[in-house]
A and B are shown apart, each in its own frame.
Chain A
Amino acid sequence: MKKHVTDVFVVLTLFFAYTASAMLLCAIGAGVYQRTADGMQKNYDMRTGVLYVAEKIRQNDVVGGLRIDQIQEKDALVLVDQTTDDKYETWIFVDEDGNLREAMVSPGNDVKGSDGYPIMPMKSMQLSIVDGSMLDVQLLTGEDELTSIRLAPLCALQEVSG
């Protein structure tokens, strides 16, 4: 009788050890998956935002093609198209809802924070001219990841204050 109880106890212990190990493995797996997914999302937001703005600047790197302006006291990058007769400006800025936004308008038109269409979540974008010839772009992504890139446009940069 005593031996039988011991056998059952050992089997039950082994069973619980098995169950606990399985649950531990699931928990570790879920944790790793979550961390990896979060990391990928942060990485994606950071890379996409920075490369999007950098590529737009490089595409419009012509004399009079770039300007730093402001919308509701927030920095906005203005790309002035001079290749066609119908001139237009592309405004890239961060709206109040926390989205990087792009709006195409005719020159001279007022741009509102709700104009254009959202590109991706972004908390803030700061643009500044460094050393007279470099443009420093600082982005705070939706995942609170602060990243910055410096670009050296060949064209002279204009900054419009207020």
Chain B
Amino acid sequence: MNKNSSSRAIFLELLLNFVLFTICMAVCLQIFAQAYTTSNRSRSIARASVVAQSIAASFKAAEGDLSQLEQLHGGTLDESGALWLEYDQDWEPSQLPGQYRVCVQPVSSENGLHTALISCKERKDQESEILSLQVSRFAAEEGGDEIE
């Protein structure tokens, strides 16, 4: 009888430990998944910032002309005058719709100052913005300076 109750006590203790351990394991796995997602997001932001800087430099070199920017980087101009560029999961330019896309949206163009908003977006379940950068450039004929 004593042996039986001792064995049951050990069994119960192990069972309780196992349940507790399973709960902790679920929490840990969730943290690991979050860490992995955060690491990927950090990588995306770093890549996006380099791509956005490159596009900003091209925008300045093209003196705010998005059709010239289209010739330099590819992509498609939509009806609103925004340029859309597609990138794959490694942030390499892609002809087909990829995991990421960059939108160069003209904001204003007054007195020779061309301003555009560069937005890097990620396609997942729904599209989310990774980062955005505003770039301005005085056209050469106005002989102005440039501001970024």
Binding site for B on A (CB under 8 A): 3-4, 7-8, 10-11, 14-15, 17-18, 21-22, 25, 28-29, 32, 35-36, 39-40, 42-43, 46-47, 50, 54, 130-131, 133-134, 147-152, 154
Interface size class of B (residues with CB under 8 A): 20 to 34
- Which residues from A are CB-within-8-Å of B43? 39, 42-43
Asked if B72 lies at the interface with its beta carbon under 8 angstroms from chain A, I say yes
- Which residues from B are CB-within-8-Å of A22? 21
CB atoms of B61 and A43 under 8 A apart: no
- Which residues from B are CB-within-8-Å of A46? 46-47, 50
For B57, give its contact among A4, A11, A28, A151 (CB under 8 Å): A151
CB atoms of B46 and A36 under 8 A apart: no
- Which residues from B are CB-within-8-Å of A14? 11, 14-15, 18
Residue of B nearest to A130 (CB): B72
* Contact stretch, chosen from B28-36, B76-84, B95-103, B116-124: B28-36
A43 to chain B, nearest CB (A): 5
A131 to B73, CA, bound (A): 12
Interface residues of B in 55-72 (CB under 8 A from A): 57-58, 60-61, 72
- Not counting A14-B15, A54-B53, A154-B146, a sample of 12 additional A-B residue pairs whose C-beta atoms are within 8 angstroms of each other reads A14-B11, A21-B21, A21-B25, A25-B28, A39-B39, A42-B43, A43-B42, A46-B50, A134-B57, A150-B57, A151-B54, A152-B60
Q: Knowing A21-B21, A47-B46, A134-B61 touch, does A40 contact B11 (C-beta < 8 A)?
A: no
A18 to chain B, nearest CB (A): 5
Binding site for A on B (CB under 8 A): 3-4, 7-8, 10-11, 14-15, 17-18, 21-22, 25, 28-29, 32, 35-36, 39-40, 42-43, 46-47, 50, 53-54, 57-58, 60-61, 72, 146
CB atoms of B39 and A36 under 8 A apart: yes
